[in-house]
Structures are given as C-alpha cells and as structure tokens.
Structure 1
Amino acid sequence: MTGAEEPVLFHTAGRAAHITLNRPRALNALTHTMVRRIDEALTAWEADPAVETVVLTGAGERGLCAGGDIRAIHDDARHGDGSATRAFWRDEYRLNARIARYPKPYLAVMDGIVMGGGVGVSAHGGVRVVTERSQVAMPETGIGFVPDVGGTYLLARAPGELGTHLALTGARAGAADALLCGLADHCVPSASLRPLLDSLAELPVSEALARVVRTAPRGVLEDQRAWIDSCYAADTVEEIVRRLLAHGDPAAKEAAETLLAKSPTALKVTLASLRRARALGPLEHVLDQEYRVSCAALGTPDLVEGIRAQVVDKDRRPRWSPNELAAVSDADVARFFTPLGACELGLAAADEAAADPLT
C-alpha cells in the first residue's frame, strides 16, 4: 500500500505523535488491522521520551470515525462463525482500556461524526476536543446491537438520565451536549484545529489549548433535562416509553417514537447494561460486561438484520425478532450477561493482578 492507502497513518512532529484514521470513504470506520496498528504505535510512543503528546484525528471532511466496520461484522455473523468479530472486539476493547490509562496526554479531535467505535478511541482519552461540527453518538440500538467500546461506562456516568436517553435513542450530541454529558472536555472552532495541531509540536497541551478554546454553541439537552430525567428514570423500557408518550413535550413524544423503531431486544439489554454499569466501578469491569453482551448479540437475528437494513440493503425497514417489547422477557435479557468462562475478556482480572503483584 502507498501511504495514502494505509488505513491508519502515523507521524511525529516535534513533541507530538499523530494518529490519523485514514479511510475517509468509509468515514474512517475501524478495522481489526487499524486497532492493532494503533496499539503498536502506542506501545512504541509510550517508551519514547521524545514523544510527549499523542494526537488522534480523522482523514477527510466528514468526521473522526463512524464506528467499527459493521459490514464486516454482518458478513462474519451471517456467513462465518463469528470468531473474526470476537477477536476484533477483544483487541478493540483492550485498546479502549489502554487509551483510558495511557500515561501521556492523549488528545482526540472529535470533529464531525464520532460514533460507536469512534467514541471508543476518542472519549476515553485524557483530552477530548469537540467542535461546532461534532456529532457524537452511540447508535447501536438501531442496528440491533448494544453500546460497547466502553460506551455504557461513559453514558452511565452522564448527569441524571441523559446517558440513558442517548444510549436508547442513539441521538447525536453536539459540542455543548457532549461536554455536558462528560464525553468531551474542550470546544475548539473547527477553523482553529490546524493552528492547534501545529502548536502541539512545540507546546504542552494546556498551553496549546489555551490559545484556541472557545465556548461551545448552545446545545439542546440542558433544556430537556426535566422530561429526560423523569421519564428515563423508569425501571423498564415499556415504562420509559409510556412516560415519554404521556409527558406532553413534543420532544418527549418524538423520543418515544424513536425508541419504538429500535430493536426491542437491544433496547432492553441496553437499559440493563447501563444500570449494571453504574455499579460495576472501573472501565475494565464494564468492558468485560460489554464483551459478554456483544458476543451474545453476535448470535441473535437482530444484529444481522439491523445491519442489513441500515447498511447493506439500506431499506431502513428492519424486521426485528421479536418485534415488540412485551415479547422480550427478563430471561431473554439475562442471557446476554452470561459469563463466558475461559473466553472472558478478562480486563478486570488483569488490572487487579497488575495492581497487586503478589496475586
């Protein structure tokens, strides 16, 4: 491959090392190869005293990253045995955890579209920059899947029930809303990104940011907190929908209609995942849970059907199975959290062992 054809590019400039996701025609969707190469670069830079900052950006004008390569997941689930996807998730989730613990400043430029796996490689970083163009989302319920890559960890910690709203509906958060929900740290005008990136060659992150950070354009979630917090505090998806429809705010009704178009199974498992994530503690524990849930979802009809409807055939008419919330039992949901035995991701155990070398 030529440099332009490489799916992820690396270069250093002064004190900064740069990662550029480089599949602009696929909106920089992540592949297993990209995950491995990013991990290898982080290993090299962690040991390199000349590298003081790591910077993540996306090629093209549309955004940082639209998520994982879900067409490949569809093909593996439908025609393969799922092993390639499980291996991809295993390395991807380990990378997410590594980014969260990286010992050097990791600055992610979350410009434009940042979804799914794109959130995983950016929102766990120590310095997260959004712009007036940012659209940050975890839209998995629309493809019969559940927020992963540490998404349930992040959203479970958003103020009130904002994270529940974003996780279930897949709604896109602009700059101010991403800041409010704890998905980002600073807003920089998109026109100032190039000066910011150039200055990182010579300046510490804090000094470079001080020159360009601005107030984010007004968001929408702050004004919607009242109905979001009251409606999404319910214990079941059915009750959430009932409260949204009864509330009276047009935005609440719109949210209910959005939910009713999503996979019923994915909605119920997502709500359970979020509630459990709140009590699990560190990111590694939540990623272990997400891996169990993701592997379980790989064997369900809704994931293949959701990707077919949204990405393959693009008819936007998924046929969910089952197609009603009432048909998804508590036992159906519980099966997604079944331990995987020897196949567990094992991040929590590894983290605990590293913290206590005598174990």
Structure 2
Amino acid sequence: MSETTEVRFERRGASGLVTLDRPKAINSLTWAMVDAMRAQLREWAADDAVRVVAITGAGEKGLCAGGDVVSVRRSLLDGDPDAALAFFDTEYDVDALIGTFPVPTVAFMDGVCMGGGIGIGGHASLRLVTERTKIAMPETKIGFFPDVGGLHLLAAAPGELGTHLALTSTVATGADAVMLGMADVLVSSEHLPGIVEGLASGEVPAPADLGSTSHPAPLEKDRAWIDACYAGDDAAAILTRLEEWDGEGADRAHEAAAAIRARSPFSVCLTLAALRRAARLGTLEAVLDQDRALARVFAEEPDFREGVRALLVDKSNDPHWRHASVADVPRTDLPPVLR
C-alpha cells in the first residue's frame, strides 16, 4: 500500500480505511499525503474485493484542517511555482476520485473539517458529521479562494447561504452542514468507532439508520437577511446591503460585513464570480477544472502569500492587501474566464 508516516491505509474485511495521521496539525494535507492517497485510491478502485472506502482523521481535533498552505507559500517564495501547483493538482485529483469512486465512500467529518478537509469529506457518497463538527471554507482569510470543489457544494446550498460562507469564511456546525447539503447525517461522535468497524462487512447503512438527517441548524435563523443581502454578482453592493440592513438579524449582518471588509478584496471578488460560475457549471469535475485554472492565478497573486504570512506564519493578523476594498477591484483584474 502507498503508506507514508502522515496517512495510513488499512484493509478491514471488505473496506479500505484511510486515516489522515497528522493530529498535531489537525491532519492538514501535505503533498506526500495527497500523492499517497491518490495512488491508494486508484489501487482500491481496481480491486473488486474493496466494497467501501472510509476516510477518517487521527486524534480528537478533527478530520482535516485543510491543505498545508504554509509549505505552498514557501515553494512560491523559493521560486518553485511548479511544486506549489503540483500540490493543488494532486489534491484536486484526490477530490475527484472520492467524488466519482466506483464503490461507496464514507467520510467521518468529525471535529474540524475545513478547506482541504471539505475536499476529501464533502464529496463522499456518505458524509457523517457530529456535535463537534466545525465546517468552513476559510480561504478568503488568507487571500485565496474556496477550492477543492467547495464551490460546487456552496453553489448548491439553499438560497444565498453558500455565498455567505464563501465570502466571510464563516464556521458552521454539523447540523448546518446537513441543512446546507454538505453532509448527510448528524451522528453522535461516540458512535463513530462502531460505524467504522461495521463497514468491514462491505455494507453501507442508510443515513436515517445512523442519526438525524433533519436537525435545527443555527444558520436557518439568518436566511432572511442572508438571502436579501447576498443576491447578485456585485461584491460592493452586497457589502453595502449588509452594512445597511436594519431588519431582524441586523447585528449579524453587520458582523458579516465587517468580516468581508477584513478579507482580501481580490479574493472576495474572485470568489463571488467563481461561485456564480460554479452554479452554471453544475458538476464537480467542471468546478475542479475551474479550481485548477484559478490556483494558477493565485500562484502569482501577492495577496495569497501575504495572507498566509499574516494568519499562519507570523500570526500577526495584519495582512496588507493590494486593494483597499472590494469596490477598488476592477473587473479586469479577474481572470478572463470569470469576467
């Protein structure tokens, strides 16, 4: 098997088990991890004895906190964009494999599941979340965009909830994830080990047999102002509506506006355009192709390197974005495919 010290692969009866094993980094994905996963998943896809694949994370903190963008940034600063792009291309290959796998894939989206964690969890055929789950696509915080096919999921969310999460990098709960269509069932975290063991039979239980498929979701109470404020293709207009909202949920709308103002203006504008295009593209494969093209844009984008520095390297939280606000980002700054 394509074993590394950072990800483990096991055969348990009729199941193949993937365990991300960087618990101190909340299992954030390195190139070695996604390269090994790609090789192993291709091997299992051709093995008739494997009837289900399960994806889990080591430790108590979560499935996966995302991709190792600090290493990606380092490659860019070292003048090696090919290494940075190889990470993204391999990661997106893994996301596509999970989303189109010939047998069921079961993702255990317990605890933190963000960024790259959504890529390997959100496209599985059965997605389990728990009372500890925290999901997010937090890329606008670091001057990037929601990649790993995340825009495919966010574009399909009810109303404008996906737009809210994409632009603000808001963290949502497991119950929210089910309501958003990014997960299938909310289960108790204490039941996860037993579910993993049960998959060795090769049989995949129905979501309703595992837990709640309809649970009160905190985001539901904000649908009115979210749907009203986030409509359209103009990021500056969205920001103005959020700041001027005076109906129910005004405090939360104003907090969302403040969050967007703190994000990379270029990332916010590009993310909005890419989200709207993802809705028209319709398929995971097409959205991942868009992600590949946009990752190449960000390999040359100073906001990405600056955002990773401020949030994850220096941890100073003082990014200096190249545009003053979303209103200052001309349409011509976006890549041609999004104009």
Partner of 1:213: 211
Contact 2:111–2:133, Cα closer than 8 Å, also in 1: yes
Aligned to 1:179, the other structure's residue is in SS state helix
* 1:55 matched to 2:54: yes
Contact 1:35–1:95, Cα closer than 8 Å, also in 2: yes
**Which amino acid letter does the alignment assign opposite residue 304 of structure 2?**
L
Contact 2:235–2:268, Cα closer than 8 Å, also in 1: yes
Equivalent residues in 2 for 1:75-94 (5 A)? 75-94=74-93
Contact 1:53–1:104, Cα closer than 8 Å, also in 2: yes
Aligned to 2:83, the other structure's residue is in SS state helix
Could you tell me how far apart the structure 1 residues matched to 2:38 and 2:73 are? 25
**Which amino acid letter does the alignment assign opposite residue 111 of structure 2?**
G
Please provide the CA RMSD for this pair: 1.8
Contact 1:56–1:122, Cα closer than 8 Å, also in 2: yes
**Residue 292 (structure 1) shift:** 1.2
Could you tell me how far apart the structure 1 residues matched to 2:132 and 2:257 are? 26
Partner of 2:228: 230
**Residue 121 (structure 1) shift:** 0.8
Q: TM-score, normalised by structure 1?
A: 0.89
Partner of 1:262: 263
Q: TM-score, normalised by structure 2?
A: 0.94
Structure 2: any 5+ residue segments left out of the alignment? none
**Closer, same or farther: CA 102–20 of 1 in aligned 2, 3 Å:** same
Contact 2:184–2:213, Cα closer than 8 Å, also in 1: no
Could you tell me how far apart the structure 1 residues matched to 2:49 and 2:152 are? 33
Contact 1:175–1:217, Cα closer than 8 Å, also in 2: no
Partner of 2:154: 155
**Residue 77 (structure 1) shift:** 1.6
Could you tell me how far apart the structure 1 residues matched to 2:242 and 2:191 are? 40
Partner of 1:342: none
Kindly tell me the number of residue pairs found equivalent between the two proteins. 335
Kindly provide the CA deviation profile for residues 174-195 of structure 1, in whole angstroms up to 9, marking residues without a partner as x: 1111011110011110011111
Partner of 2:290: 289
**Residue 326 (structure 1) shift:** 2.3
Contact 1:168–1:271, Cα closer than 8 Å, also in 2: yes
Kindly provide the CA deviation profile for residues 158-214 of structure 1, in whole angstroms up to 9, marking residues without a partner as x: 11111000000111111111011110011110011111112222361126x555323
Kindly provide the CA deviation profile for residues 34-88 of structure 1, in whole angstroms up to 9, marking residues without a partner as x: 1111112112222222221100000011100011101101111222231101111
Could you tell me how far apart the structure 1 residues matched to 2:311 and 2:119 are? 21
**Which amino acid letter does the alignment assign opposite residue 92 of structure 2?**
Y
**Residue 291 (structure 1) shift:** 1.2
Could you tell me how far apart the structure 1 residues matched to 2:3 and 2:33 are? 14
Structure 1: any 5+ residue segments left out of the alignment? 339-359
Could you tell me how far apart the structure 2 residues matched to 1:188 and 1:202 are? 20
**Residue 281 (structure 1) shift:** 2.5
Contact 1:15–1:200, Cα closer than 8 Å, also in 2: yes
1:242 corresponds to which of 226, 240, 243:
240
Contact 2:62–2:112, Cα closer than 8 Å, also in 1: yes
